[in-house]
Amino acid sequence: MNKARHIAIIMDGNGRWAELKGKKRVQGHEAGAKIVKEITTFCSNAKDIERLTLYAFSTENWKRPRLEVEFLMKLLEKYLKNELNTYIRNNIRFEPIGDLRAFSKSLQKTIQTIQEKTAHCDGLVQALALNYGAQDEIIRAVNKIKDCDDGITEVMLSNALDSKHSVDLLIRTGGDHRLSNFLLWQVAYAEIFFIDTLWPDFKVESLEKILKDFKKIERRFGGIK
Ligand code: FPP
């Protein structure tokens, strides 16, 4: 039976969820943050799940209106500070991926503090993709190793990435069927589930159903049965 050791999620649909309810887009992000907590806590208690990577802010998201970007930054900082106890209580280690240098000093400090304070946790790893883009990640990795003498190997490049962990199950909520520059190297053999549910409506039961379907898939990794 397949094990979803590494789950990655493109959490899409916050804005549309809010608009459908006559609320402001940012209220959709606020509702989305609550789901982040619920799904992370569920994963930390699930037997086979070792890593959960969530797409929280992409290298392209800076193109959004200034106020929305500022709101997302504040929400992220608030979330990390407020949920430190949730991380510790559930033995969850927090790891950021992405280029953090673009963030304010204060947010960078908060990210570093939460990372340090959860470094001893050896249960689920929650990796938040922050100012993350897979193409940017690959370029930064290549630049780290480009001067090696014997040519770049697959293992070398993989180890130089922000996340060297291959994804078993990728979920995108919100109805679109694209990868949006998320973990392009790591999803090489991921099973991909595109679902219409908007992220703030995503529930633990939605994930349980996907996991049930995932377990039935025959994964061949390019081989034959
Ligand atoms: C996509 O929805 C979502 C984002 C760009 C941000 C994701 C942020 C959260 C889920 C909440 C904050 C996260 C944490 C970790 C505290 P969209 O705005 O593109 O929705 P739309 O496609 O309906 O416009």
Domain ranges, ordered by start, for the chain? 6-215
Side-chain-facing half-sphere of 130: CA atoms under 13 Å: 23
Q: What would the mean pLDDT of 77-93 be, rounded to a whole number?
A: 98
Instruction: State pTM to two decimals.
Output: 0.97
pLDDT tens, position by position, 5-44: 999 999 999 999 999 999 999 999 999 999 999 999 999 9
SS3 57: strand
Structure tokens at 53: 């990577």
Q: Which of 87, 19, 94, 21 is nearest to 52 (CA)?
A: 94
Q: Whose CA is nearest to atom 3 of ligand 1?
A: 12
Instruction: Kindly report the length of the chain.
Output: 225
Cα(13) to ligand 1 centroid in Å equals: 7
SS3 128: strand
Q: What is the mean pLDDT of the chain?
A: 97
* Predicted confidence (pLDDT) at residue 216 exceeds the cutoff of 90: yes
Q: How confident is the model at residue 122 (pLDDT cuts 50, 70, 90)?
A: very high
Q: What would the CATH number be for the domain defined by 6-215?
A: 3.40.1180.10
Residue 150 scores a pLDDT above 90: no
**Ligand 1 and 32: CB distance under 6 A:** yes
**Rounded (to 5) percent helix, strand, coil in the chain:** 45, 15, 40
225 band by pLDDT with thresholds 50, 70 and 90: confident
- Report pLDDT for 40: 98
Dihedral sign of CA atoms 18, 23, 29, 30 in order: negative
